[in-house]
Structure 1
Amino acid sequence: MLAFGLVACAAAEASIADGDVIVIGVKADQPRLGFREKGVFTGFEVDVGTYIARHLGASRVTFREVRSDNREQKLNDHTVDLVLASYSITPDRAKLVTFGGPYYVAHQDVMVRRGETLIRGVRDLAGRRMCQASGSVSTERVVVGLSIPAKLVPGASYSDCVAKLRSGEVDAVSTGDLVLAGFSAPDLEILNSPFTDERYGVGMRKGDIDGCEAVNRAVTTMYQDGTAVELLRKWFGPSGLKLVGEVPQFEGCS
């Protein structure tokens, strides 16, 4: 029993930094960030995740889908080892997982149907129908953080929210500008009126300090060697967003 206990303890304390095979959780329905088509994942977060895993020493990197409402579950049940899925660092989430990074600081903005004249900024969402993607905190920042009484309409995901925007079921979708940029299209418009920050972190199992520090070193190198800027331009250059090429200020590993 003692031997078993020691093995279990060692397994519990294993760091992602020691892994030879790393499984990364990404979104499957967010174009240009994390998107799956014909079984293949592509996007900015897929490329960043691959870069980080290689710098951690992984010989094999695989991807699995996560949603906003199951990211913590997928980490804690060991379905995935890292999560890069527009995973904004918040105090409540940091109680459940350890965050490396952020690897990018996005800015929350608003998307509307092109030609919309009544919504030109976040304050104009008062009384209007705004989609609330399951598991996301973006609408909370509007309704609670800014005390704007928008009418929330539930959506399964941001792809579902964009579909509801197109169909007229909602008047606006609000979240990080990189997410919105992935859905940019001639019939939709991003207001380019940011009102808060979304610090996209690398989620890992709670307490993996060694893994967190290794991830931060990898992110620093990614910016220093020019890879971060290259990937941002590759995926979001055509969107017209102002992209930031400096290393974000890390949260610190705890």
Structure 2
Amino acid sequence: MKLRKVSAAVATVVALSLAATACGSSDDSGSGGGKIKIGIKFDQPGIGLKTQDGKYTGFDVDVATYVAKELGYDAKDIEWKQTPSAQRETMLANGDVKFIAASYSITDQRKEKVDFAGPYLLAHQDLLVRADDTSITKAEDLNDKKLCSVTGSTSAQNIQKEIAPKADLIPVGGYSECLTGLENKSVVALTTDDSILAGYAAQKEHQGKFKLVGLKLSNENYGIGIKKGDKDLQDKINKALEKMKSDGSWKKFVDANFGPAGYKSEPAPEIGKLS
């Protein structure tokens, strides 16, 4: 009799514990009322930006929100996490985020540490110049002229090493400083991915002041980063990206975020194929 009472008590505790776990879960299971953590950039207008009033805008934000919805999450279920470039692989490996959409170019080196869905955008390294500047039509025109980019940028280094060895590199802390330099004519150009340049040029305060030269100095296949080995999630995100293209959402996101800069994007890339 005493044994039966103990067994019944244990069973009750276990049942209550399981029920509490089921009701209180806030993991990333999808369609179960939980939350999902997504990595984006907080400082790239047109791509991923946290505004002063706490909102999140940009092409990557739109894409990630669409994908999350296809995975079973409403916009209110998303917890946006700032994802600096140097920390992307670590954040995925540690499970700090479910996936990352942060101007994340797919490369062989990165694929050794993480997996990718996509690509969902094909960008190219380009130059941003003043709207009235007709002196820069190709990268070679940067010889003996001041070229701005952020400190540690491989984009500017590639130009100096391979195309315009006499370009005078001006490294600064952020792209906004380069835009100020362009405006006051202390530099002639800013270089990075054309999608990022278009995002800055499309900002209301910059519209009409700058233009993209339209060069294709590199191919940057933006993918959605996921934890290494998560094939199930990769397949689900790829399916969502395919739907995003077919239902017109991809084009709508491009036009909304890059259109004001006159950015001519490549067609939506084929999933699983790099250019």
The answer to whether the aligner puts 1:233 opposite 2:258 as a matched pair is: no
* TM score, norm. by length of structure 2: 0.74
Q: Distance in 1 between matches of 2:257 and 2:114?
A: 28
* TM score, norm. by length of structure 1: 0.80
CA contact (8 A) 1:102 1:251 kept: yes
Q: Percent identity?
A: 36
Larger Rg: 2
The answer to whether the aligner puts 1:52 opposite 2:74 as a matched pair is: no
CA contact (8 A) 1:28 1:35 kept: yes
User: 1:49 and 1:98, CA in 2 relative to 1: closer, same or farther beyond 3 A?
Assistant: same
Q: Distance in 1 between matches of 2:233 and 2:87?
A: 21
Measured after TM superposition, the shift of residue 168 of structure 1 is 4.6
Computed over aligned residues only, the root mean square deviation of the Cα atoms, in angstroms, reads: 2.6
- Report SS of the residue matched to 2:73: coil
User: 1:33 and 1:83, CA in 2 relative to 1: closer, same or farther beyond 3 A?
Assistant: same
The corresponding residue for 1:79 is 96
Measured after TM superposition, the shift of residue 225 of structure 1 is 1.3
- Report SS of the residue matched to 2:86: coil
What whole-Å deviation, never above 9, does each CA across 1:85-134 have from its counterpart, x for those lacking one?
11111222222221111111122210023333432212222343333435
The corresponding residue for 1:24 is 38
The answer to whether the aligner puts 1:196 opposite 2:212 as a matched pair is: no
The answer to whether the aligner puts 1:181 opposite 2:195 as a matched pair is: no
Q: Distance in 2 between matches of 1:70 and 1:164?
A: 29
> For 1:81-100, what aligned pairs fall within 5 Å after superposition?
81-100=98-117
Q: Return 5+ residue gaps in structure 2 as ranges.
A: 1-26, 202-206
Q: Distance in 1 between matches of 2:172 and 2:114?
A: 25
Indicate which of 236, 240, 244 corresponds to 1:222. 244
What whole-Å deviation, never above 9, does each CA across 1:198-254 have from its counterpart, x for those lacking one?
1111112222222222211111111011111121122222322223444434249xx
Q: Distance in 2 between matches of 1:65 and 1:117?
A: 37
Q: Distance in 2 between matches of 1:95 and 1:166?
A: 41
What whole-Å deviation, never above 9, does each CA across 1:116-171 have from its counterpart, x for those lacking one?
34322122223433334356543354345x34323433333433443443455543
The answer to whether the aligner puts 1:34 opposite 2:48 as a matched pair is: yes
> For 1:38-187, what aligned pairs fall within 5 Å after superposition?
38-58=53-73, 60-134=77-151, 136-144=153-161, 146-149=162-165, 150-168=167-185, 170-184=187-201, 185-187=207-209
Measured after TM superposition, the shift of residue 18 of structure 1 is 4.6
CA contact (8 A) 1:181 1:239 kept: yes
Q: Distance in 1 between matches of 2:56 and 2:172?
A: 23
What whole-Å deviation, never above 9, does each CA across 1:32-82 have from its counterpart, x for those lacking one?
221111111111110100111121233522212222333223333333222
The corresponding residue for 1:3 is none
The total of aligned residue pairs comes to 236
Q: Distance in 2 between matches of 1:234 and 1:243?
A: 12
User: 1:208 and 1:169, CA in 2 relative to 1: closer, same or farther beyond 3 A?
Assistant: farther
- Report SS of the residue matched to 1:112: strand
CA contact (8 A) 1:17 1:214 kept: no
Opposite residue 80 of structure 1, the aligned amino acid is V
Measured after TM superposition, the shift of residue 23 of structure 1 is 1.2
User: 1:245 and 1:173, CA in 2 relative to 1: closer, same or farther beyond 3 A?
Assistant: same
Q: Return 5+ residue gaps in structure 1 as ranges.
A: 1-15
